[in-house]
Amino acid sequence: MIDLRVTFNTLLSALAVCYATSLPAQEIARDADTLLNRLGTLTSEADAAEAQRLANEVMERWSHSGSPAMDLLLVRGQEAIADQDWPRAIAHLTALTDHAPEFAEGWNQRATAFFLMDRYGQAIADIEQVLILEPRHFGALAGLGIIMEQLGDQDRALRAFRAAQQVFPAEENVNAAVERLERETGERSL
């Protein structure tokens, strides 16, 4: 005789494993990885439009956690940043990082809010977390470069911008920052 409870529990476990290994977040991460690989090959001005399109696609992928509730917290945090409502932005984004600590974009957006509040130490700590989760997050790398430059640490700023440049070589603002900092630090002559 078959124990239906055991069979049902086995079926539920198998379904849960199948669901967990096919979550949209995992598919999104693979898609972003493919796009990032392609983005890193586009370096010339002729490639700029395609590079920007790919970068936008990557950022779109990064904005999806795989959870509608977490995605809503991200949107609310971004709206609060746009409204310059810093306490609300930090509250939403802290809730997001607390409940989805593996979601890099939550940390990145909170770093942005901290940066805009001139709370550089907290922004750097959140950028560090972003880069642990997504080492090729070109926005976080460029943001780190901006913070380091504002803090007067040109060498670290240059390293951060160069890292961003490796991921997104066609990004004009990052390229300009690298050139400017190379001249200022003496790593490039005129």
**pLDDT tens digits for range 71-124:** 999 999 999 999 999 999 999 999 999 999 999 999 999 999 999 999 999 999
pLDDT for 29 equals: 58
What are the residue boundaries of the structural domains of the chain, listed by start? 24-185
How far does CA 2 lie from the centroid of its chain?
Answer: 50
What is the rounded radius of gyration, in angstroms, for the C-alpha atoms of the chain?
20
Q: What is the pTM of this model?
A: 0.80
Cβ neighbours of residue 146 under 8 Å, at least 6 residues apart? 115, 157
Burial of residue 9 (CB within 10 Å: 0-12, 13-18, 19+) is: exposed
User: If one looks up domain 24-185 in CATH, what number appears?
Assistant: 1.25.40.10
Half-sphere exposure of 152 (CA within 13 A, CB side): 0
Residue 158 amino acid letter: L
